[in-house]
Amino acid sequence: MIYLLLFFEFFKIGLFAIGGGLVTVPFLFDLTEKYDWFSPSELADMIAVSESTPGPIGVNMATFAGFKAAGILGALTATFGLVLPSVVIIIMVAKLMQKYSCNTRVHTILEGIRPAVLALILFAGVQIAQIALTGSIEILMFVALFAMMRQWKQSPILYLGLAAVLGIALKL
C-alpha cells in the first residue's frame, strides 16, 4: 500500500525535521535508498524546482516527492503526512502558551529569545544575499529595492513583482 507508506514516511519527516524546509533534504535522500520512488538526481531537480516556485520549500519538496512516487494522490498524502505532526504539536503548544501567558518566567524566556531569533533571521538573510548578490548590478538592485522599502511601506508582493520584472528586463 504505497499511500500508507508515503504517509508514514512523511509523517516521520514532519516529526523529526526540526527547523527550515531544507532540513528535510537528508531525510528525502534516505528515501531514495529505501524505495524506488525517485532517484538522487531526480531529488536534485526537485530541490531546484522547489526553491524557484511559490510556497515554502519543505512543502514543495514533499508535494513533488509524493507526486513522483504515486501521482496526485501521492502528492496529497505526502504533504498531509508532513504537516500533521506540526499541526498537532503546535496546537498543544499554543494551548499551553495561553495557560502560561501570564507566567513571568515564560515572559522572561520568550523576551530573551527574541534577539536570538533576530540573529537567525539575519543569518538566513545573509545566506540568501550570498546566493542572490552575484555582481554589481545585483547589489545595486538590492540597495535600490531596500531604499524603496524603507521609504514607502508597500506590500512585499508589489516589490516581488517589480523584482521579477526587473530580473527579466536586466537579464540577471
Closest to another protein by CB, 4 vs 124, is: 124
Closest to another protein by CB, 1 vs 116, is: 116
Q: Are 24 and 58 in contact (CB under 8 A)?
A: yes
Output the smallest distance, CB 41 to another protein, in A.
14
Single-letter amino acid, residue 145: L
Task: Give the C-alpha separation, 12 to 21, whole Å.
Answer: 14
Single-letter amino acid, residue 147: A
Output the smallest distance, CB 28 to another protein, in A.
13
Closest to another protein by CB, 4 vs 48, is: 48
SS (H, E, C) 88-131: HHHHHHHHHHHHCCCCHHHHHHHHHHHHHHHHHHHHHHHHHHHH
Output the smallest distance, CB 17 to another protein, in A.
6
Q: Which three cell numbers stand for residue 93?
A: 503548544
Task: Give the C-alpha separation, 19 to 76, whole Å.
Answer: 22
Q: How many other β-carbons are positioned within 10 Å of the β-carbon of residue 10?
A: 28
Which residues in 90-102 are b (16+ Cβ under 10 Å) and which e?
eeeeeeeeeeeee
Output the smallest distance, CB 5 to another protein, in A.
19
Output the smallest distance, CB 144 to another protein, in A.
9
Closest to another protein by CB, 4 vs 170, is: 170
Task: Give the C-alpha separation, 47 to 152, whole Å.
Answer: 34
Closest to another protein by CB, 33 vs 151, is: 151
